[in-house]
Structure 1
Amino acid sequence: MVNFYKPKAVKKNINQQLTVEINSLDMNGDGVSRQGKKTIFVEFALPGETVEAKVTQEKSKFLRANTKKVLVAANNRVTPLCKHFYQCGGCDLQHLDYDGQLAFKQQKINDLFRRNSNIEQLPWQSALHTDIWHYRRKARIGVQYNKLNKAIVGFRQKSSNVITPIKRCPVLAETFANEFSDFAALINSFSSKQAISHIEVITAEVSVVIFRQVRTLSVEDKQKLLNFNLHKPYQIALQQDDGLHFLEPQSSNYLSYKVSGCELQFTTTDFVQVNINLNAEMVNQAMQWLALDVNDNVLDLFCGLGNFSLPIAKQVNSVIGVEGVQDMVERATMNAQTNQLTNCQFYQADLNAEKSDWPWLNSNSENAINKIVLDPARAGAYNAVKNIVELEVNTVLYISCDAATMARDAKVLLDNGYTLDKISLMDMFSHTRHVETMALFTRV
């Protein structure tokens, strides 16, 4: 067989400077323009702007570029509060005013529902949002080491493993927003070089900073950690292969937060919503939309450690919570006991699998489920929603952290006799492209 030489296509546009007009934003918040038959996606550009952009990637049907100079600015362009915004990969939209951010996120949902279900007008309710700065209570901070063996502490650049050194983060909780330089100075004082691989910060009733230790710290280095902790409003722990070790003895390795009159305990590895204030607003709105009363029997799918289950249980006859991770089921059970709630039961099951048996359901009992809450991960709840349809439950509340999978799953409900009564944005991650949504479906 003869192999013919096939030269690689020349990417003539890479590094080229283009002047483009921006027509819209794509799903990631990048500006969209066109050059001939090619679409151009331009970082940090807004609709209505004319910008000079440098091409960074070339494919057969599109180009990607970075904004180098704004020639004509949009009315809703603002100066980013964070001086690291254009280097750090944490935020996407600080250059867009807040009303513009909400409009962008709502339009993303509109577009997805139009494509999936041919719905032109959604029953939008007011967006849920709280403080748009210093809202993030949990974050993983990267640590890298340069050629001089000096620690660089910060966040990854967009689409990169390279750490941008951070001085201050305005979306991180106040307790930790200005700690980056202190963390770097502490690590650089250690005799055990490259001992720390990353840092995790968590705001809770008692806040904690976790240093991931990959090399053994000397006795002197551990003393430096203790001395550092004396002047800080949080506890420090070392994460090692054998588990978590607090520098100072703790009465419990559990952290906790409060929501709707309930105290929920969690470990450092458990999933919790990172925006504590918006989480409280979200739970309150969920209970209002469900119009709960003492006769209701609620099924909470993907229940986690009881974030929705326990507040709901205080207002209804019974709650059944189902979660895929056994540790979270045990945590939810423990939290129910802590809050002296006896009308909750929690079970472990793979809710993304085809339904073989849901033994916790008994439609003939006096506790037959009449309302359902589901709060899945980004993969959505396609199979769970198909199974919900078979139950013929009248009220379904869907909380989503991924717009595309929610639109997909909503189509299953809409195609099987449900209507979409209410929908609202929940701005859990201000200044980013991430969209959280709550939607209420009722069976006709």
Structure 2
Amino acid sequence: MSDDSDLQALTSPEATAPCSDAAPALPEGWLRVDALDIEAQGIARRPDGKVVFIEGALPGEIVSASVHRKKNNWEAATLTAIHRESSQRVRPACPHFGLHTGACGGCKMQHLHPAAQVAVKQRVLEDNLWHLGKVRAETLLRPIEGPAWGYRYRARLAVRYVHRKGEVLIGFHERKSRYIADMRSCSVLPAQVSALLVPLRALIGSMDARETCPQIELACGDAVTALVLRHLEPLSEDDAARLRAFALQHDVQWWLQPKGPDSVHLLDEGGPELAYRLPEFGITMPFKPTDFTQVNPHINRVLVSRALRLLAAQPHERVIDWFCGLGNFTLPLATQAREVLGIEGSAALVERAQQNFERNSQNPGVIPSLCATKFVARNLFEMTPQMLVADGSADKWLVDPPREGAFALVKALAELHQSRMGAEGAAPLPAAAQGWEPPQRIVYVSCNPATLARDAGLLVHQAGYRCTAAGVVNMFPHTAHVESVAVFERAAATV
């Protein structure tokens, strides 16, 4: 867990399932695992009721564990022996996964069957909605699932030259450590990228700048594998030549990052374009390797289609896409609605989204042609009712915020609703809001069930909406990351 308060919250009766009173007594020191927490740790209780979080244990198992941290009402431990194994336990596909010293910390759930992982994440979503937002979805959506391996098209790989070994390490950090795991393959990276880990180690080790290149960022498009080399000093001509030779041999595209993200540029101009497609809509999305795009393109294609079906934008409707980024949802929406407004906090992404719109507007493969679409840069974490009204009424919203959620946005919506209802203590309705109407339907795509639950509570209890559906999106198999989608309808409206 991230801190003491999180652990204390999980020890509450609402967050954990107690052992059955009818369960037989266990030998001293053995523990019966009843549940899994959001960090993929098994949850057990001692006979006195004290909660034990056990890394590596699964629900239904009887285990022994070594305690490495104690508090008044909980303990943190690591699995040492399994006396009764879960039927959902599987053999991890990656040799670098596990509880051993030096194990990679990139995945936490490879020992659990992928279908069971999805079930755990669905439970996390439902529990967060109820315990944090006091909201229950009227319908549970079927989980969105895809390939369990080779799915990670975006990754940030740490790089370090180790003097005492005289070699370079490249990969994710070790479990609970700042050190880099000694990885020679990675099962969640695409196979062609996993096969590059050892050659990349040799490449960096041969460079003059081997001690001043701390990171390689991976960004795969449909036809291009881009590698962004972070370097803290200018590269020599010999190093640039080494990078070019590697690119030719391994069919990759090098980008260089001498300073911040804005400094990223191609090693050599020209070459194929880094882009991904949304074939159902005929959309092509060029992007820079440091732009935000979804880690899992297989799931992203399904997610875009699912979100648009749930939103069901009609040819006569105006739609707002909040936190629109590159236009991942905006451009497909523009094939369905009368008018679309995309709003994003990053001016650079707004510019990229506008460029993508203009490019796809000229693409005869986009059917039907894109409707009137506008992009605006605005700080969405400082939204007010007045700002919300100024953007005009929309029939429907799509909301896709970062982990922080969309609190300011939904709070502004709730305040307008409370003002219109004349609720006690509510501010007067702004004059400009007299003719403004809230959206009939909101589809909220979330990468953090806690902030989704918080925002859902506002929408349902203060903004006049029902949560008609919710479900998980397994964007990150084998990790504890929970992505989800939820649908909200105005309470007076029918589904």
Q: Deviations over 1:387-428 (max 9, x none)?
A: 234343211111100001101111111113211222121111
Task: Describe the SS at the equivalent of 2:387.
Answer: coil
Q: 1:223 aligns with which of 241, 244, 253?
A: 241
Partner of 1:7: none
Counterpart of 1:185 in structure 2 is 202
The 5-angstrom pairing of residues 27-42 of structure 1 reads 27-35=38-46, 36-42=48-54
**3-state DSSP of counterpart to 2:382:** coil
Q: How many angstroms does 1:217 deviate by?
A: 3.5
Letter in 2 for 1:403: P
Q: Does structure 1 retain, via aligned residues, the 8 Å contact 2:129–2:449? A: no
- Aligned pairs (5 A) from 1:59-138: 59-86=71-98, 87-119=103-135, 122-138=138-154
Q: Secondary structure at the match of 2:264?
A: strand
Between 241-250 and 261-270, report the one with greater CA deviation.
241-250
Q: Deviations over 1:346-401 (max 9, x none)?
A: 111121214164378465xxxx4100110011111112012234343211111100
CA contact (8 A) 1:361 1:369 kept: no
Equivalent runs, 1:278-317 vs 2, <5 Å: 278-317=299-338
Provide the C-alpha distance between the structure 1 equivalents of 2:467 and 2:400, rounded to a whole number of angstroms. Answer: 17
Q: Is the 8 A contact 1:194 1:215 kept in 2?
A: no
Say if 2:268 is the partner of 1:239: no
Amino acid at match of 1:258: R
1:382 aligns with 2:401: no
Distance 1:384 1:255 in 2: 33
Q: Does residue 158 in structure 1 map to residue 158 in structure 2?
A: no
Matches of 1:122 and 1:158, distance apart in 2:
39
> How far did residue 310 of structure 1 move?
0.5
Of 31, 34, 38, the residue aligned with 1:20 is 31
TM-score (ref. length: structure 1):
0.90
Q: Distance in 2 between matches of 1:247 and 1:406?
A: 40
Q: 1:313 to 1:52 in 2, by over 3 A?
A: same
SS of 2:337's equivalent? Answer: coil
When structure 1 is superposed on structure 2, of 419-428 and 32-41 the one drifting more is 32-41
Residue 144, structure 1, aligned to residue 165, structure 2: no
Compute the TM-score of the two structures, normalised by the length of structure 2: 0.81
**Using a 3 Å threshold, how does the CA distance of structure 1 residues 54 and 281 change in structure 2: closer, same or farther?**
same
Percentage identity across aligned positions? 33
Instruction: Kindly provide the CA deviation profile for residues 186-211 of structure 1, in whole angstroms up to 9, marking residues without a partner as x.
Output: 11122444132111111013221122
* 1:273 corresponds to: 294
Contact 2:320 2:394 in 1 (8 A): yes
Change over 3 Å in CA distance of 1:198–1:362 after alignment to 2? closer
Q: 1:400 to 1:250 in 2, by over 3 A?
A: same
Kindly indicate whether the alpha-carbon contact (under 8 Å) linking 1:195 and 1:217 is maintained by their aligned counterparts in 2.
no
The letter of the residue matching 2:349 is M
Contact 2:105 2:176 in 1 (8 A): yes
1:353-392 matches, within 5 Å, as 353-355=382-384, 357-358=386-387, 361=390, 363=392, 368-389=393-414, 390=416, 391-392=437-438
| Unpaired stretches in structure 2, ≥5 consecutive residues | 1-27, 362-369, 417-436
Instruction: Could you tell me which runs of 5 or more consecutive residues in structure 1 were left unpaired when the two chains were aligned.
Output: 1-16
> C-alpha distance in 2, partners of 1:247/1:354?
40
Please say if residues 191 and 218 of structure 1, whose CA atoms lie closer than 8 Å, have aligned partners that are also in contact. Answer: yes
Deviation at 1:20, TM superposition (A): 2.1
Q: Which residue of 2 aligns with 1:343?
A: 372
| Secondary structure of the corresponding residue to residue 52 of structure 2 | strand
SS for the counterpart of 1:101 is helix
Counterpart in 2 of 1:176?
193
SS of residue in 2 equivalent to 1:230: helix
Partner Cα separation in structure 1 for residue 343 and residue 215 of structure 2: 33
The amino acid of 1:59's aligned partner reads: K
1:427 aligns with 2:474: yes
Equivalent pair of 2:43/2:51 in contact (CA under 8 Å): yes
Query: Is the Cα–Cα contact under 8 Å of residues 209 and 235 in structure 1 kept in the other structure?
Result: yes
Query: d(CA) in 2 for partners of 1:419 and 1:121?
Result: 8
Q: 1:120–1:339: structure 2 CA closer, same or farther, 3 Å change rule?
A: closer
How does 1:202-217 map onto structure 2 within 5 Å? 202-204=219-221, 205-217=223-235
2:152/2:295 contact within 8 Å kept: yes
Counterpart secondary structure, 1:249: coil
Cα drift, residue 37 of structure 1: 4.7
What amino acid does structure 2 have at the position aligned with 1:22? Answer: V
Structure 1 contact 51–69 (Cα < 8 Å) conserved: yes
Task: Point out the structure with the larger helix share.
Answer: 2
- The aligned residue for residue 409 of structure 1 is 455
Could you tell me how far apart the structure 2 residues matched to 1:21 and 1:180 are?
Answer: 40
Q: Are the aligned partners of 1:18 and 1:54 in contact in 2 as well (CA < 8 Å)?
A: no
Q: Secondary structure at the match of 2:489?
A: strand
What amino acid is the match of 1:62? W
Structure number having the greater strand percentage: 1
Judged with a 3 Å threshold, the aligned counterparts in structure 2 of structure 1 residues 369 and 162 are, in CA distance, closer, same or farther, namely same
Q: 1:395 aligns with which of 432, 441, 454?
A: 441
Give the stretch that moved more between structures: 281-290 or 193-202: 193-202
What is the letter of the counterpart of residue 45 of structure 2? R
Deviations along 1:240-295, one digit per CA (max 9) or x if unpaired, are 1383343333268x632112321112222211111111111011111111122210
CA pair 246-325 structure 1, distance change in 2 beyond 3 A:
closer
Change beyond 3 A, Cα 1:441–1:221:
same
Backbone CA RMSD of aligned residues: 2.1
For 1:343 and 1:193, how far apart are their aligned partners in 2? 50
